[in-house]
Amino acid sequence: MKQLLKTLTETFGPSGHEGEVRKIILKEVKPLADEIRVDALGSLIVRKKPARGSKNPRRIMLAAHMDEIGIIASHIDKKGFVRFTNVGGTFGRYTLGARIRFMNGVTGVIGYDLPEHVENVPPINKMYIDVGATKKEDCPVKVGDFAAFERSYMEMGDRLVAKSMDDRTGVAVLIETLRSIKSTPNDLYFVFTTQEEVGVRGAGAAAYGIDPEIGLAVDVTATGDTPASMKVMTELGKGPCVKFRDPGMLSDPRVVDWMISTAEKARIPYQREVLLIGSTDAREIQISRAGVMAGALSIPCRYVHSASEMVDYRDLKNSVKLLTALLSKVVSF
Ligand code: CO
Ligand code: ZN
């Protein structure tokens, strides 16, 4: 899974431009799928049908988003410096000094207008991208060009660091889960969604098309295990998290019970998650059509939305184990 994660995180894919990521996933899932389609918003929908003779198979949608946060060029000045705005949750404190890459391969570094108080982090509208141009006419970037962080994948023992761990870890976990499920009594839809970072847009459209009974997002969650971090109980390396609440969703208690009882029976470590900021694809799945029983399995992640997001490999492996256990058996609610 590490090699796959390296490939996925080193691939370019800001919201609305997930094509490169989709290509990699497609190659992995082709031999494992019963049906594959791409919907109008670009989500990749991979179906694994129930084993022959299964009674009342449940339609279950799993979702992991392919897109990552990014930036978009909004203005180019006389000297060829590129001003930009955010695509999703791109924050000043994580953007300053970053290297970025545009879709056409142009790279740049992010500089800033000196603030009055140098200790203050400037917001992104006080930053610019230096792509090495000296005047507007030579700037290889046009207004509307998308870019994302440029950063290579790195391993520190079990701790893995890369850009776009949010949510390529979810993507890798879903691919590995599909690989590990030998047979299922359920009708499974593994959905690799688009445009999550700009307001969970792809997942809603995909859920409408699939009309699932149960929906589960697989995405990262913040941790409370660093100095002066948020007051949450989730930690790296302590297992996948069962989501109870985030600001966009209350998990269905039946889904929460299903996840916890399965983890306990299979002796897989898990954590109880209440997230204070952010949400996931499950938010849109839950309120699609007449409503869906929804929840989320979250992967603990430090420094979310920076170019160096950190996860623990053991959490990824245990996430695959838990999902495999959940999806391989008859759902009893
Ligand atoms: Co995110
Ligand atoms: Zn995410």
Q: Is the pTM of this model over 0.75?
A: yes
Measure 75 CA to ligand 1 centroid, in angstroms: 25
Measure 112 CA to ligand 1 centroid, in angstroms: 24
Q: Where are the domains of the chain?
A: 2-68+163-327, 70-149
Measure 166 CA to ligand 2 centroid, in angstroms: 5
Structure tokens at 7: 């490939």
Second-level CATH architecture of 70-149: Beta Barrel (2.40)
- Which residue is catalytic, options 28, 196, 273, 284? 196
Tell me, yes or no, if the two domains 2-68+163-327 and 70-149 fold the same way: no
196 is catalytic: yes
Nearest ligand for residue 69 CA? 1
- Assigned CATH class of 2-68+163-327: alpha beta
**Ion ligand 1 nearby residues (CB, 5 A):** 166
Q: For every one of its 333 residues, what pLDDT tens digit does the chain have, with 9 covering 90 and above?
A: 999 999 999 999 999 999 999 999 999 999 999 999 999 999 999 999 999 999 999 999 999 999 999 999 999 999 999 999 999 999 888 999 999 999 999 999 999 998 888 888 899 999 999 999 999 999 999 999 999 999 999 999 999 999 999 999 999 999 999 999 999 999 999 999 999 999 999 999 999 999 999 999 999 999 999 998 989 999 999 999 999 999 999 999 999 999 999 999 999 999 999 999 999 999 999 999 999 999 999 999 999 999 999 999 999 999 999 999 999 999 989
